């Protein structure tokens, strides 16, 4: 909850919020361990790929029809992409604390970062992000073991930039 977020007060976020809390047309690509895109503070602020929305010519839901409807090279990439698994589930994997410590990974880090940016706030749950009105695109390049390749990080950024060129949205 915002009242308990020491850093937000120290950064003067409420002053910034007097000007803006962000804009839903601004898409922030979180390139990290993935994002829990079902999290109650994030679900409403997740970017949804407009090229994978609606129904196709056969009446199937584009978000799950197994077709790269927007022809960007990624099938059914509705909220982003998981580069290590090469699939459309950029979910921030969770593990036990012991698994995390033994593997050197940090499950939850991408969700934490996404929350710092765009957690809904004002809902009596979790935290508030600095820009609670922007959208989050989940781009996973770090595995649950804390490993990632430069190639996957670069691909993540290329996806983020490609979406920006092909839409009316502003990407960060």
pLDDT tens readout for residues 2-22: 778 888 889 999 999 999 999
Instruction: Give the CATH H-level superfamily of domain 2-13+22-53+66-167.
Output: Peptidase S8/S53 domain (3.40.50.200)
On the 0-12 / 13-18 / 19+ scale of CB atoms within 10 A, 101 is: exposed
Whole-number Å distance between alpha carbons of 34 and 81: 9
Q: What is the structure's pLDDT at 145? A: 78
**Which one-letter DSSP state was computed for residue 138?**
E
| DSSP H or E stretch at residue 156 | helix 150-165
Neighbours of 161 (CB within 10 A): 12
pTM of the model: 0.84
Q: Count other Cβ atoms within 10 Å, centred on residue 149.
A: 13
The pLDDT of residue 147: 87
Q: Within the chain, which residues score under 50 in pLDDT? A: 95
| pLDDT tens-place string over residues 104-119 | 555 588 999 999 999 9
């Amino acid at each position: 909850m915002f009242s308990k977020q020491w850093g937000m007060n120290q950064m003067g976020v409420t002053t910034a919020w007097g000007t803006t809390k962000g804009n839903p047309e601004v898409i922030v690509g979180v390139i990290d361990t993935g994002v829990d895109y079902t999290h109650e503070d994030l679900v409403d602020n997740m970017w949804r790929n407009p090229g994978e929305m609606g129904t196709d010519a056969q009446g199937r839901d584009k978000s799950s029809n197994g077709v790269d409807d927007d022809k960007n090279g990624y099938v059914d990439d509705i909220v982003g992409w998981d580069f290590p698994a090469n699939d459309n589930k950029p979910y921030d994997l969770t593990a036990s604390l012991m698994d995390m410590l033994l593997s050197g990974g940090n499950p939850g880090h991408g969700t934490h970062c996404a929350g710092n940016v765009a957690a809904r706030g004002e809902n009596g749950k979790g935290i508030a992000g600095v820009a609670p009105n922007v959208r989050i695109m989940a781009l996973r390049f770090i595995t649950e073991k804390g490993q990632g390749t430069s190639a996957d990080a670069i691909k993540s950024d290329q996806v983020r930039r490609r979406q920006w060129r092909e839409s009316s949205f502003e990407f960060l």
